[in-house]
Homo-oligomer: A and B are copies of this chain.
Amino acid sequence: MATLKDVAREAGLSVGTVSRVLNNRGYISEETRNCVQEAMKRLHYEPNEMARALSKKHSTMIGVILPSISHPYFAKVLSCLERAAHARNYELLLFCSQGKSAREEEYVRVCCSNRVAGLVLCSGGVKTGKLRNLGFPVVTFERFLNDADAGVECDNYEGGALAARELIGAGCRRLLCISGEGEVSMPADARKVGFLDVCASHTDVEVQVVLCSPEHLEDLNYYPELRAFLDASPAPDGIFAGSDVIGLQTMAELSRRGLRVPQDVKIVGYDDVNLAQMTNPQLTTIHQPVREMAEECISIIVKAANNESYPARTMFHVTLEKRGTT
């Protein structure tokens, strides 16, 4: 592989001049620039990003830690982060923690070793104190972490409230809220709170809650909890599913029991991922502006790299996407 020295020799110029062309530093005549560029082409020279990053202390890599990749929500988050990073000439270094804190901490160390420009943390088990003084900004995505540098989230409380108003407005009175919840407190927990607060303001509305294990982010199997509830209780007439994955599985389970959606039971999901439009009826859901949230994360890391100030916490509005299940 050709080196800077080879290019200098080929172009008949000094290494310093070639380096100035490459880094766009100081005055360089058009002729010299062309001469260097042609020599680079002839030798198939590729600047060594590792050497460059070493001299700059930071690479153009952004670390991303997700709890799951194949979950449709995190696949969408990752897709949007990649697009936003590419638009700013950054690359993603990808890690999947499967929700294990030991893995998350290991990946934070690997990010350190690779001198990333920043880290987007969508996985929430890293212990307080482990994210300080890393030498790069940590931006959490839909996660609370007191010692992260910035956090980007959506208005989960508003989302839960919108779902309750939609179901109650459609005439539902026996409501069910199905929510994935773990030991670590997360912004998404506010979906349930917003939902229950609106229900509480209606005296003729009953509401029940089913909590699902956070492990289902990995196995995507919410059927056991759903079946246990439906076996033991009379069917609700309105269901708020904490994610579209839960919403789809709820539709499938109700259909198995001969219940029609939306005639017998209405459903509102959360996230607005692609599979919300792959069933009949299509799923009414709370649209989370994942693209804008991902762009904000990348923008914060780019601002930090340029020593510009950036917001510590950014919360995006959500909207109701009305489709066939309500």
Contact = CB atoms under 8 A, between A and B. Distances in A.
Interface of A: 1, 44, 46-51, 53-54, 59, 61, 64, 68-72, 75-76, 78-79, 82-83, 86, 91-96, 109-110, 112-115, 133, 135, 220, 245, 248-249, 251-253, 255-256, 273-275, 278-280, 282
A191 to B, nearest CB: 20
Contacts of A256: 280
B79 A68 contact: yes
26 contacts: A1-B135, A44-B133, A46-B112, A46-B113, A49-B110, A50-B50, A50-B53, A50-B113, A50-B114, A51-B54, A68-B79, A69-B79, A70-B72, A70-B76, A75-B78, A82-B94, A82-B95, A91-B110, A92-B95, A93-B93, A93-B94, A245-B278, A251-B280, A252-B279, A253-B280, A275-B278
A277 to B, nearest CB: 8
A69 B255 CA distance: 30
A11 B167 CA distance: 66
A68 B46 CA distance: 26
Nearest to A75: B75
Tallying the copies of this chain within the complex gives 2
A96 to B, nearest CB: 5
A113 B48 contact: yes
B50 A69 contact: no
Contacts of A133: 44
Contacts of A82: 69, 94-96
A272 to B, nearest CB: 12
Nearest to A282: B252
Given A93-B91, A96-B86, A69 B75 contact: yes
A72 B70 CA distance: 7
B113 A47 contact: yes
B278 A61 contact: no
Nearest to A89: B110
A68 to B, nearest CB: 7
Contacts of A96: 79, 82-83, 86
A108 B1 CA distance: 15
A113 B61 CA distance: 12
A114 to B, nearest CB: 5
Most chain B beta-carbon contacts within 10 A, residue among A64, A69, A133, A279 = A69
Contacts of A255: 280
A250 B51 CA distance: 51
Contacts of A94: 64, 78, 82, 91-94
